[in-house]
Structure 1
Amino acid sequence: MSRAGLHALRAGPFSLLVRPRALAMVALFLLAALLALGVGLSHGSLPIPASAVGRALFAPESLPADLRYIVLDIRLPRLLMALLCGAMLGMAGAAMQSITRNGLADPGLIGVKEGCSAAVLLLIFQFPALSLFWRPAVGMAGGLLTALAVVALARDISRPRFILTGIGVSWAFAAAMGVFMTTADVRDVQTAMLWLAGSLHAANWTLVGVAAAWAVPACALLLFTARAADVALLGNQTAAGLGVRASRLALLRVLAPVVLTAACVSCVGSIGFVGLIAPHIARALLRGGQTALLSGSAALGGLLVLVADNVGRLAFLPLQLPAGIVISLIGGPFFLLLLWQRRDRF
């Protein structure tokens, strides 16, 4: 195993094969995320010294109330939401690419994100009194219905037609939301446009808790089924011979990305391309199976959204660009490059 770069970690009756290089790379991604978190906490329209940030985190009673409020109630939940949503989208994209065996697969490219967005917008403007906890459930219903529609139209999730069908469904939902934009009250339109752009400005501790409550079980499900997913990549017949139920595994590994995407969209709006970019970078930098890919994609996705939010928040002060727009500036050319590399497969 050492020749293959694998080492066994044992704790009593439990053992786990790990690749030290992959662990080191994931640790490096997390360290970069911590550095970006520190930059985000200390920089803004009101710069705060690093010493004051440390006191706010570990001895908040020693700081004035206004500085404590800025660090703990405005910046920290926003940055944690960026990390959490990026990790959710990165892991969702990695799982979707694995189950469809298509490097272009992403919840935002097969209509799931737009289905979630349309459902949540309907909830926000038709039932504004409902609790925030309803948003992920409604968004999940919209995302699942959209995913089922795309699967039914494409008939095969492993072919490029699946992606093209998803893009068509995404355009249909985008057109429906465009009709809403042109007919709704201007105040509702402003709210919807800011939310759809993927802005994290409204993040608070309640939203962080809602996102985490849905993210933890979905991420655990993907990690729990990672070994079976590795076996499924060998083919349905081989997987069945090794005791893996391919149909049930596919259902679980499609449901979990929809849950992750719906929770993210419901809390911060539409942030695209993270689920497309993060798995490709993780796959290029990390060797290993689904566990390494999922972990690396989550770490890279969180880092990507966090850096994008810092850039959008700090680069054009006093104006702020939503993180979704900053990521789209990178994701659009990245998607075109992938399409060009796969131009003979369509």
Structure 2
Amino acid sequence: MNRAGLRAWRVGPFSRLVRPGAMACVALIVLVSVLLLGFGLTHGSLPIPASAIGRALLTEPGLEANARYIVMDIRLPRLLMAVLSGAMLGMAGAAMQSITRNGLADPGLIGVKEGCSAAVLLLIFQFPALGLAWRPLFGMAGGLITALLVVALARDISRPRFILIGIGVSWAFSAAMGIFMTTADVRDVQTAMLWLAGSLHAANWTLLGIAAAWAAPAFALLLFTARAADVALLGNHTATGLGVRTSRLALLRVLAPVVLTAACVSCVGSIGFVGLIAPHMARLVLRGGQTALLTGSAVLGALLVLLADTVGRLAFLPLQLPAGIVISLIGGPFFLLLLWQRRDRF
């Protein structure tokens, strides 16, 4: 265990093998994210001293009503939503790459994100009276239908054609969304375009609560099945011999990323490439099984979206770029690099 860098960690009757180096890396990423979150709270069109924000968070007088509204009702929920959405997409991408055994797998690349977006746009345009709580339900329905369609067409989620069929299905849903956009009212189109770009400008405490309510059980499900997923990587026959029900595990490990993606897309729109980039970054800086990969992908995804939103919000003041556009500027070349590295496998 010492040569592998593992140490026994005991809490009462529970014990677990951990890598102190990996835990230190995760702690460092979390610290950077917290510092970036603090930077985002203090900077913007109205700079606010950190000391005043600290007093406001402790419910002590220190901010004017206008400044307190900006910090507590605009900046803080937006930054927390960036952290949560990045963690959701990062963990969803890691789970999808694990179950498909394909480093190119991502809920956005197999059409789940476009299916969610099309369903939410249908809700916005055709049923505007329904509240925000209905968006994740519609998004999940669209994402599940898309995932089932891609699985049915590919017949094997571990082969590269699973990704290629997913890309084709995502194009089909993009065309359907194009029809929505060309036939809808201009004011609705402007709102939908900003939402589709992955903007966090409309984040509020209600949306944050909805996203967290759907994310928590999906996080727990993925972490609970992490050990079984490690065994499944040995192969279906070996995993079955060791007592893992591979079919049920595959169903759960596909369902959870769809839930995470649908909840994220329903609340903040389409933010691409996070689920593709974060797991690869986690593999570079962390070693270990699925638990380490899922945790690392979550914290790195949170840092990516938080950084993208901060750059888009502050770099071009008074204009703001949606976080989805900033992420795409990085993710596009990254995806092409991965395709080039795997050019002989298709």
Fold shared per TM-score above 0.5: yes
DSSP 3-state at the match of 1:345: coil
Query: Which residue does 2:70 correspond to in 1?
Result: 70
User: 1:131 Cα deviation (Å)?
Assistant: 1.8
DSSP 3-state at the match of 2:61: helix
Is the contact made by 1:83 and 1:302 (CA closer than 8 Å) also made in structure 2? yes
DSSP 3-state at the match of 2:15: strand
How is 1:99-110 mapped onto 2 (pairs within 5 angstroms)? 99-110=99-110
DSSP 3-state at the match of 1:32: helix
Distance 2:24 2:64 in 1: 39
Query: Which residue does 2:81 correspond to in 1?
Result: 81
User: 1:12 Cα deviation (Å)?
Assistant: 2.2
Query: Which residue does 2:198 correspond to in 1?
Result: 198
Distance 2:16 2:140 in 1: 33
Distance 1:29 1:58 in 2: 25
Q: Deviations over 1:182-240 (max 9, x none)?
A: 12111011011000000000000000000000000000000000000000000111111
Distance 1:244 1:60 in 2: 54
Is the contact made by 1:198 and 1:322 (CA closer than 8 Å) also made in structure 2? yes
Distance 2:228 2:306 in 1: 31
Distance 1:137 1:179 in 2: 22
Distance 1:116 1:65 in 2: 38
Letter in 2 for 1:298: A
Query: Which residue does 1:219 correspond to in 2?
Result: 219
DSSP 3-state at the match of 1:107: coil
Query: Which residue does 1:256 correspond to in 2?
Result: 256
Query: Which residue does 1:333 correspond to in 2?
Result: 333
User: 1:67 Cα deviation (Å)?
Assistant: 1.3
Letter in 2 for 1:106: D
After TM superposition, the runs of 4+ consecutive aligned structure 1 residues lying more than 3 A away are: 59-62
How is 1:165-176 mapped onto 2 (pairs within 5 angstroms)? 165-176=165-176
2:304 is equivalent to residue 304 of structure 1: yes
User: 1:295 Cα deviation (Å)?
Assistant: 0.3
Is the contact made by 2:53 and 2:63 (CA closer than 8 Å) also made in structure 1? no
User: 1:9 Cα deviation (Å)?
Assistant: 1.1
User: 1:180 Cα deviation (Å)?
Assistant: 1.4
Distance 1:273 1:159 in 2: 20
Query: Which residue does 2:234 correspond to in 1?
Result: 234
Q: Normalized against structure 1, the TM-score is what?
A: 0.99
Q: Normalized against structure 2, the TM-score is what?
A: 0.99
Distance 2:40 2:151 in 1: 40
User: 1:63 Cα deviation (Å)?
Assistant: 2.2
Is the contact made by 2:198 and 2:324 (CA closer than 8 Å) also made in structure 1? yes
Query: Which residue does 1:144 correspond to in 2?
Result: 144
2:85 is equivalent to residue 90 of structure 1: no
Q: Which runs of no fewer than 5 residues in structure 2 stay unpaired?
A: none
Query: Which residue does 1:267 correspond to in 2?
Result: 267
Distance 2:18 2:58 in 1: 34
Distance 1:39 1:11 in 2: 35
2:38 is equivalent to residue 49 of structure 1: no
Query: Which residue does 1:157 correspond to in 2?
Result: 157
Letter in 1 for 2:129: A
Is the contact made by 2:136 and 2:266 (CA closer than 8 Å) also made in structure 1? yes
Is the contact made by 1:139 and 1:262 (CA closer than 8 Å) also made in structure 2? yes
Distance 2:58 2:135 in 1: 33
Is the contact made by 1:60 and 1:68 (CA closer than 8 Å) also made in structure 2? no
2:253 is equivalent to residue 283 of structure 1: no
Is the contact made by 2:139 and 2:265 (CA closer than 8 Å) also made in structure 1? yes
Q: Which runs of no fewer than 5 residues in structure 1 stay unpaired?
A: none
DSSP 3-state at the match of 1:203: coil
